[in-house]
Structure 1
């Protein structure tokens, strides 16, 4: 069931579009449709599209023909970054703020003070916005900001949410996509993963077994063989009928629950991977990947059939790196994203570097590649620029920078910009770079501050994409400069830092070591 939250009367728009050369800002007579295709927990290597300089064994494992099509028809961004876990990324996307600024630095769950941070033997739980994003002021432990979907809706866009929301804790206004600016909500609520992907299990909505992870609003598929990825896609395409009929621009946030746990087999594809020799766990994971990719194909086919492709921007992205803990994955821990180090929860590349593709016919040059590094908060100003929306005064101060110049001219490069990450929490699990860390990237250099280890490590990503060799001792001046800049950036936004259980002293800043 598609839930139409409310309808507002807005003028129809003409469907005529003209495009200017790739080297200039496009000028359209009508606003382009925008689709953000967000995948959960998808790593840089969880695709047959090679984002590395060479095809890897993992690229050969997965089958993602529709991502391949997007890469052929648009721009592949090889250095796109998110936060190490989901909610910080999602809040940054809709607010344009870095996690250090908005302080939603870990994943949210249920209101009334529940803290998702795992207990730690060194640090007390940090003071972060445990209730996530709020479109309303005065909600405890939230960041109040003007959300992107609201701005687009106010500018005349028909706004549709499909899949995972996870901006705010259950019981807060931010948990409901209707309050964030979406006119239609398909299956989105406070939970960060589904109770079940299976229609035969009612996506978790079975009497006596329901938890808050049960996916709402898909009753028409209960008892069926329809996999969750397919169900939310079918209903998203149904929801597009209204703006298409009214010739109104639309914003579709297609936010899949896949590839998050529980790892369950999408039986449309599961057998293929068993036959290829994968164990049951990895075959389930690969089937989730291919089912997600099939959704992308269904959406592109819909655009083609309805004459919408030429005036529709599709941006493919993931909210954090691929899961590398075993279990639930199988194999040697933290090898699931090779050649990148570690995975979800880590500030090493495996936890934050994401597969990103942009298709915009007539604007994005087909088959092009941008190696410019960018980060999730950049989506906010970019989408507003694409939509030709000047938001005026916002509640929040933003950190994102539009990546439109690199979309129009993929060969452009800026090595002077710095990206920062701040994760002063304990997500859980152990592994390289997981828990209580901050990081900065500038040019090819990346510095990671491990708060528990009380040390900084420096890597040259051009020479060492796997972050295997710490070169901080042989590059003391670069190490000092990056530690100083990371400290200054964190202090500028009043970033919260952990305190020791013994003595209650705050951990040192990166440049105080």
Structure 2
């Protein structure tokens, strides 16, 4: 089995180590003084303070803004998440880090918005993995590990392949189980998953690729032709079991459980037993047959499959919440649920119109319009966060590091140079000043840039062709971004254009054309 660590650098060493950069968090202190202060602080905390709260961060993959019952979904069953919403707070204007997987997760883990984050788009690093976050970045997992938390990640990582600076065991994660690579995660019936730094084999013979089509002679109208897209060993089952075990193993000390589930990202792979409840509804559900070889694996009932995947995810989350109750940990655990971006744009596979996946919002995955980046978000901390509450405070993934560090009582340990703000006052039911701005850029899907200040949002599209024209929307009055009011507010447009330039730094790896490189010539039609 392959090893992804340097010789002599054991898992135990990695688990105990933190990066040298963490020392800079305690400025003007010598190392010895810092160690002494940490010992005294830890001793006093143990004697006089309750145990710091556990943190559970659950991240769905491509879940749309309106795909939970608590956010208006009418067709897909999400009872556990709906219960979570009643027990905590709904954040109705929360923004993912970006419009696709890797750059969104980079914002979450590093607290830097897409104009400062290293990873700004999906970029594969064969044979496995995505462009890595550098060693110099301090992740949420590292910060919590440095505060004495057990840290585990279970699901899809996507921030650095094996042997890179970004692989999870080198970024503060002490226990990892799941997929390192996003492409590998396109299959729910793979041949292996990562168990820390080793492969663990799954009982799929053969494994089911996320991109195979019908065999020669298969009849797409015959349900039997879809058997080749089903495996025996469903990877999300394995991942959920390991996440539950992590909670059990660390129930007597503070822990950070990061659970980036692969659901509901296509391919449409889900066990048959989960499908039945949706088959019985009698939906008109034409097969997805992968015309022209485009898309992921075919499915005979794609609407039922997509709904069943989300319900399966809800069940996994219910397992975690129930275990917290069973172990009497719920009252001292902060639970956060969100999504890495909006619903997939692959409409032949996922019928986002049928499900009204993003509701009134414009845009899907890959878009910086609201539907691509505004995501359903829930936060629960019993006795601290008001039950059944909601907030329309504008917030984003870059806010979670300062927020969580404040909630666990360590705001002074937030690294300098981050872009997020603490939304702890909002979560605790207190008033909070409006954030200065929320910025997003995405060099792919034509090249896009946005900034939101108050109710106004500036949007640039098709930048790769040299377009710098700004659209302007009043999000509070026009959340669907249908009425471009740029012509009515030229001074505001000019101001926001200047601000978009001021809040970012150029990237050679992920250039935003034409700001960081020449515009591409449009193809002649």
Task: Report the TM-score range of the alignment, normalised by the length of the smaller protein.
Answer: 0.7 to 0.9
Match of 1:407 among 422, 427, 438: 427
Distance 1:252 1:332, change over 3 A: closer
Q: Deviations over 1:90-123 (max 9, x none)?
A: 11111111121123111132259x9x9xxxxxxx
Deviation at 1:506, TM superposition (A): 5.4
Output the CA distance in 2 between the equivalents of 1:201 and 1:492: 38
Corresponding residue for 1:109? 124
Corresponding residue number in structure 2 for 1:289: 310
Question: For structure 1, which segment, 482-491 or 356-365, has the greater mean C-alpha deviation from structure 2 after superposition?
Answer: 482-491
Is 1:69 aligned to 2:89, yes or no?
Answer: no
How far, CA to CA, are the matches of 1:236 and 1:48 in structure 2? 25
Question: For the structure 1 residues 200 and 111, does the alpha-carbon distance in structure 2 shift closer, same or farther, using more than 3 Å as the test?
Answer: closer
Comparing 268-277 with 180-189, greater Cα deviation is found at 268-277
* Corresponding position of 1:423: 442
Q: Which runs of 5+ in 2 are unaligned?
A: 4-9, 18-37, 194-200, 212-229, 286-300, 521-525
In the alignment, which of 156, 161, 183 is matched to residue 148 of structure 2?
A: 156
- 2:287 counterpart of 1:243: no
C-alpha deviation, 1:332, in angstroms: 6.0
How many Å separate the matches in 1 of 2:336 and 2:419?
20
Matched, 1:358 2:371: no
Which residue in 1 is equivalent to 2:174? 183
Distance 1:110-1:334 versus aligned 2 partners, 3 A rule = farther
- Partner of 2:58: helix, strand, or coil? strand
Q: Residue 449 of structure 1 aligns with which residue?
A: 460
| Contact map agreement 1:439 1:448 (CA 8 A) in 2 | yes
Shift of the alpha carbon at 1:225? 5.2
Q: For the residues of structure 2 that align with 1:333 and 1:448, how far apart are their CA atoms?
A: 27
Which residue in 2 is equivalent to 1:133?
Answer: 133
Aligned to 2:504, the other structure's residue is in SS state helix
Matched ranges for 1:265-284 at <5 A: 265-276=270-281, 277=283, 279=285, 280-284=301-305
What is the CA-CA distance between 1:282 and the residue it aligns to?
1.9
Could you tell me whether the CA contact under 8 Å between 1:88 and 1:104 is conserved in 2? yes
Q: What CA deviation, in whole Å up to 9, does each residue of 1:450-487 have, x standing for no partner?
A: 22444211111122111111111122232222222222
Residues 366 and 319 of structure 1, relative CA distance in 2, 3 Å threshold: same
Q: Offset at 1:397?
A: 2.2
Instruction: After TM superposition, give the deviation of residue 209 of structure 1 in Å.
Output: 5.5
What CA distance in whole angstroms lies between the structure 2 residues aligned with 1:196 and 1:360? 34
User: What is the deviation of 1:161?
Assistant: 1.0
Give me the TM-score of the superposition, normalised by structure 2: 0.75
Which position in structure 2 is the counterpart of 1:120? none
Distance in structure 1 (CA, Å) of the matches to 2:336 and 2:46: 20
Residue 157 of structure 1, CA deviation: 0.5
In 2, Cα distance between the equivalents of 1:328 and 1:204? 26
Distance 1:415 1:385 in 2: 18
Q: 1:440 pairs with 448, 451, 469, which one?
A: 451
Greater Rg, structure 1 or structure 2?
Answer: 2
Maintained 8 Å contact 1:425/1:436? yes
Deviation at 1:210, TM superposition (A): 8.3
Q: Give the corresponding residue for 2:266.
A: 261
The 1-side partners of 2:360 and 2:241 are apart by 35
Deviation at 1:150, TM superposition (A): 1.6
3-state DSSP of counterpart to 2:84: helix
Give unmatched runs, 5+ long, in structure 1. 19-26, 117-129, 136-143, 214-222, 427-434, 508-513
CA drift of 1:61 comes to 1.1
Deviations 1:18-50 (A, max 9, x none): 9xxxxxxxx952110110011111111111112
The answer on 1:477 being equivalent to 2:491 is yes
CA distance 1:336–1:309, change in 2 (3 Å)? closer
Distance 1:275 1:454, change over 3 A: farther
Give the 3 Å change call, closer, same or farther, for CA 383–493 of structure 1 in structure 2: farther
Matches within 5 A, 1:330-349: 330=351, 336-349=357-370
2:104 aligns with one of 64, 75, 89: 89
In structure 1, distance between residues paired with 2:381 and 2:515: 49
Structure 2 CA distance for aligned equivalents of residues 385 and 212 of structure 1: 41
- Provide the C-alpha distance between the structure 2 equivalents of 1:312 and 1:496, rounded to a whole number of angstroms: 40
C-alpha distance 405-390 of structure 1, shift in aligned 2 (>3 A): closer
Relative to its length, the structure with more helix (as a share) is 2
Structure 1 residues 104 and 5, CA, compared in 2 at 3 Å: closer, same or farther? same
Contact 1:100 1:422 in 2 (8 A): yes
Q: Could you tell me how far apart the structure 2 residues matched to 1:334 and 1:224 are?
A: 27
Could you tell me how far 1:281 is from its partner in structure 2?
1.4
Q: Does the 8 Å contact 1:5/1:184 carry over to 2?
A: no
Aligned residues: 441
What is the deviation of 1:347? 0.5
Q: 1:149 to 1:416 in 2, by over 3 A?
A: closer
In the alignment, which residue of structure 2 is the partner of 1:462? 476
2:236 matched residue in structure 1: 229
